[in-house]
Structure 1
Amino acid sequence: MTATKGLEGIVAATSSISSIVDGVLTYRGINIDELAEKATFEEVAYLLWHGKLPTRKELDELIAQLGEYAAVSPEVIAGLRLYPKNANSMAALRTVVSSLALYDEEAQDMSREANLRKAVKLQAQLPTVVAAFARIRQGLEPVAPKKGVGVAHNFLYMLTGEEPDPVAVKALDKALVLHADHELNASTFASRVTVATLSDIYSGVTSAIGTLKGPLHGGANEAVMVMLDEIKTLDNVEPYIQNKLNNKEKIMGFGHRVYKNGDPRAKHLQQMSRQLSELKGDSTLYEISVKIEELVTGQKGLKPNVDFYSASCYTLLGIPRDLFTPIFAISRVSGWTAHILEQLDDNRLIRPRAEYVGPVGQHYVPIEQRG
């Protein structure tokens, strides 16, 4: 047996949910460009769960279900009030999602029908708990979710307590579409490993959130915003980036293990960043981002990934930096749960081997003889 570092290039599962072939990302065979331009996030979630786009009746039923399930139990909100105000937002989300299982009477029901209902519940409740956590730490009361509106609209409403601008809703909705699934990425793989033991769907999503928390996965967009904050002005871009390049430091938001010719999602987020800049009447972040892209791509040949322009988009939407990765989770829970359902439909315990490289021929030495 020979190890492959990072499992790069290893095919670990078959899946009909999403694919990346020759740099083209599809959900259930539909190009991400089509979905980003034409579909709502609710349509995409239905597509991931059911393998087809919903009819008008099916879409209306899903939106009604999401509205019905969006409220969380008072005990969950009470738990959020006990978290430290400076708690890491992804650590808080990981903890609260685990606690949601305690208040779901179907938590241990492993039937496909119950798991599908739990997938919808998780999709409905993640925006609620992220918004509630954000408000509680500011000393504000959580805002109850609305019924009859989409996930993006509801999240922005619960976060601010005000009706969001339609341009902002459309921008966030598109971001949710773009982040919904991405083949067998690290967090999706973690969720499938967990439920392959026949653990429950909440455990699978909790594992995924813990994996997404890392800066080499979901946390990358937050790291991009840290860089933009440090640069501050357009004049500082070139010296800042050149110093990073000269010192061979990693520039977050560029390059991707799977995409060699650029992340197909990035262009949509760049367009959104520009549109939101126009809405806000301030193009500073967008112009800084474009200049960074020109320098990094020009000198290193690396192109921006999905994290790069999502950072400026979320900031222009007025979203605090440490909520960027939780928003990623709000979207990706649709993909995680689709993969969990698929894993359980034809389950086999995921248990790879390791190439042993330690000492051999060792023997136990009595403690008195150890040096």
Structure 2
Amino acid sequence: MQRNRQDGAAALAHAPGDYLTRAETLALLQIKLQTLYAYVSRGWIRSVPQGDKGRRLYARQDVERMKSRADARSGHAPVAAAAMRWGEPIISSTLTEITAQGPRYRGVAALDMARDGQTFEAVVKALWNTGDDITLSWQPCARTLRFADAWPGTAGLQPRRELVRFFADIALRFGSEHLRGVRSSDVQFVAASRMIATMAHCLGHLRRPHDGAAATSARKRGGGLSATLLAVLGGTVSPQHIAALDAALVLCADHELAQATFVARIAASAGADVGECVAAAILTQTGLTSARSYEATEDLLRACKTVAQAQRLFEEHYAAHRNLPGFNHPLYPDGDPRARYLIDVVRRLAGRHPSVEPLFAALDIAAKHGCLPSLEIGLTLLTIALGLPPRSAFALFIISRSAGWVAHIVEQRTSGALIRPRADYLQTCPASSNSAEDVLPVDGAMLAAESHT
């Protein structure tokens, strides 16, 4: 018996997130204490002693399994399925809440942070909840920078055309040197800030042609991350432009469980290190809702050289697609407040690039058709106004959102929970079917299944 107590204590010392207290277990399962005792006695929920006062802790995995069974019996499966598609929350988190006024980071509105002039670095510390005892490092890794500078030759690709792969390789390379096997949250956060800084210093590759001397000079420059980004990308490093870019980075830092964030949490729950999780999230950005959305948005905006051209192109695009890229975010039916704020920043920006002027007329055309700008529009407008090179908007989004991914990764790893959804198996077509297209009823709907021979 004493040996079992020691083994249980040892297990807890190594994996505290794998266990729940009695109060947490009762609250999660919504059962009485006698029912919990019955579950334990029948072997359905494992428990280990906590201290010498008869208290016990209960295996999180067993408790969550019992919760899933209870939900399934209660008909919660359709609710869970709907939750995977812009539905109800499915993962508990203390990081970000989405409201009609935009995201709130740990209870503080991101828009308020931007209005108050908080720097990106300060917001990252708040999002990561590092406290005053931890000093983050925003100095890049020289070895990873050399790797990035050599990447076009070794990969045979141009970073501005393969930005997702470029960033993913940087995250993997940095992670293999600084984050492999690291378990301490504080150490992970310090290394992660260096990883984000390293990615920022690599953006000189977006300039045409790539100016190695200018990039090296910018890397030696002091100041915050926004000042570094402006210098690396060839922008004007003025106080107003730094403040504008800080506001954009703050608003992009996190947005709850977006697709890439969910992927990062899944990878973290499976034991991947921070660099690998961030790389997985970055690679998820190749889809229609991220990289391609930013590309389509930027291509349309940058093609508008005059007011007349902007009006014509927006009218033609809407007539052809009944929508416009970068507009109408599903979570903000009344308009994305992050985009509205960034557009206002652009309107007030002194020394903005003249190429942004026709785009205000384009926004009026979009509004006439009921199209409300999303973050892609606001961020792309800002990069054009700042005179930054093409694809800067998406690159800045990746750098900023990496901070949010790191927060989710560390939170997921700390919880000790494995994310492993179950599939709702659907009946497949018989192998002997000769029909080119078989249609099966599924939950009252008709599912078309194409035959592959």
Which TM-score tier does this pair reach, normalised by the shorter chain? 0.7 to 0.9
Q: Does the C-alpha gap of structure 1 residues 135 and 230 become closer, same or farther in structure 2, counting only changes over 3 Å?
A: closer
Q: Does the C-alpha gap of structure 1 residues 93 and 360 become closer, same or farther in structure 2, counting only changes over 3 Å?
A: same
Partners of 1:20 and 1:130 lie apart in 2 by 30
Partners of 1:95 and 1:189 lie apart in 2 by 20
Partners of 2:212 and 2:353 lie apart in 1 by 28
Matched, 1:140 2:212: yes
Q: Does the C-alpha gap of structure 1 residues 79 and 195 become closer, same or farther in structure 2, counting only changes over 3 Å?
A: farther
Deviations 1:162-214 (A, max 9, x none): 87222221211111111111111111111111111011111110011112233
Q: Which amino acid aligns with 1:7?
A: R
Q: Does the C-alpha gap of structure 1 residues 118 and 285 become closer, same or farther in structure 2, counting only changes over 3 Å?
A: same
Q: Does the C-alpha gap of structure 1 residues 328 and 22 become closer, same or farther in structure 2, counting only changes over 3 Å?
A: closer
**5+ long unaligned stretches in structure 1:** 364-370
Partners of 1:27 and 1:173 lie apart in 2 by 16
Q: Does the C-alpha gap of structure 1 residues 253 and 126 become closer, same or farther in structure 2, counting only changes over 3 Å?
A: same
> Residue 177 of structure 2 corresponds to which residue in structure 1?
103
Contact 1:221 1:324 in 2 (8 A): yes
Deviations 1:11-38 (A, max 9, x none): 2211111111344421111112210111
Q: Which amino acid aligns with 1:17?
A: L
Q: Which of 291, 311, 336 matches 2:361?
A: 291
Partners of 1:74 and 1:177 lie apart in 2 by 25
Partners of 1:179 and 1:169 lie apart in 2 by 15
Q: Which amino acid aligns with 1:291?
A: A
- Which one has a bigger Cα radius of gyration? 2
Q: Which of 48, 51, 65 matches 2:127?
A: 48
> Residue 337 of structure 1 corresponds to which residue in structure 2?
406
Q: Mapping of 1:91-130 within 5 angstroms? A: 91-104=165-178, 106-130=179-203
After TM superposition, the structure 1 stretch with the greater mean CA deviation from structure 2, 17-26 or 194-203, is: 17-26
Give the 3-state SS of the residue equivalent to 2:97 in structure 1: strand
Deviations 1:83-137 (A, max 9, x none): 4353412221112221222322x42222323322232222222202233x33696
Contact 2:222 2:228 in 1 (8 A): no
Q: Mapping of 1:7-86 within 5 angstroms? A: 7-38=85-116, 39-50=118-129, 61-62=135-136, 65-67=137-139, 69=140, 71-73=142-144, 75-77=146-148, 79-82=150-153, 83-84=155-156, 86=158
Give the 3-state SS of the residue equivalent to 2:103 in structure 1: strand
Alpha carbon RMSD of aligned pairs, Å? 2.7
Q: Mapping of 1:227-306 within 5 angstroms? A: 227-276=300-349, 278-280=350-352, 282=354, 284-286=355-357, 288-300=358-370, 302-306=371-375
Give the 3-state SS of the residue equivalent to 1:25 in structure 2: strand
After TM superposition, the structure 1 stretch with the greater mean CA deviation from structure 2, 213-222 or 343-352, is: 213-222
Partners of 2:101 and 2:312 lie apart in 1 by 32
> Residue 150 of structure 1 corresponds to which residue in structure 2?
224
Q: Which amino acid aligns with 1:80?
A: W
Q: Which amino acid aligns with 2:407?
A: A
Q: Does the C-alpha gap of structure 1 residues 236 and 148 become closer, same or farther in structure 2, counting only changes over 3 Å?
A: closer
Give the 3-state SS of the residue equivalent to 2:256 in structure 1: coil
Q: Does the C-alpha gap of structure 1 residues 308 and 148 become closer, same or farther in structure 2, counting only changes over 3 Å?
A: same
**By how many angstroms is 1:349 displaced?**
1.6
> Residue 185 of structure 1 corresponds to which residue in structure 2?
258
Partners of 1:6 and 1:216 lie apart in 2 by 16
> Residue 368 of structure 1 corresponds to which residue in structure 2?
none
Which has the bigger relative contact order, CA under 8 A and spacing at least 6?
Answer: 1
**By how many angstroms is 1:139 displaced?**
5.3
Deviations 1:288-319 (A, max 9, x none): 3332322222322x311111121121122222
Deviations 1:222-268 (A, max 9, x none): 32221023332111233322223333343111111111111111122
Partners of 1:72 and 1:260 lie apart in 2 by 45
Contact 1:23 1:262 in 2 (8 A): no
Q: Does the C-alpha gap of structure 1 residues 148 and 75 become closer, same or farther in structure 2, counting only changes over 3 Å?
A: closer
Q: Does the C-alpha gap of structure 1 residues 312 and 9 become closer, same or farther in structure 2, counting only changes over 3 Å?
A: same
Work out the number of aligned pairs and report it: 349
Contact 1:179 1:328 in 2 (8 A): yes
Partners of 1:229 and 1:254 lie apart in 2 by 16
Q: Does the C-alpha gap of structure 1 residues 5 and 49 become closer, same or farther in structure 2, counting only changes over 3 Å?
A: closer
Contact 1:195 1:340 in 2 (8 A): yes
**By how many angstroms is 1:361 displaced?**
5.8
Q: Which of 68, 88, 105 matches 2:162?
A: 88
Q: Which amino acid aligns with 2:129?
A: H
Q: Does the C-alpha gap of structure 1 residues 22 and 136 become closer, same or farther in structure 2, counting only changes over 3 Å?
A: closer
**By how many angstroms is 1:6 displaced?**
5.6
**5+ long unaligned stretches in structure 2:** 1-76, 433-452
**By how many angstroms is 1:341 displaced?**
1.0
Percent of aligned pairs sharing the same letter = 25
More strand by share: 2
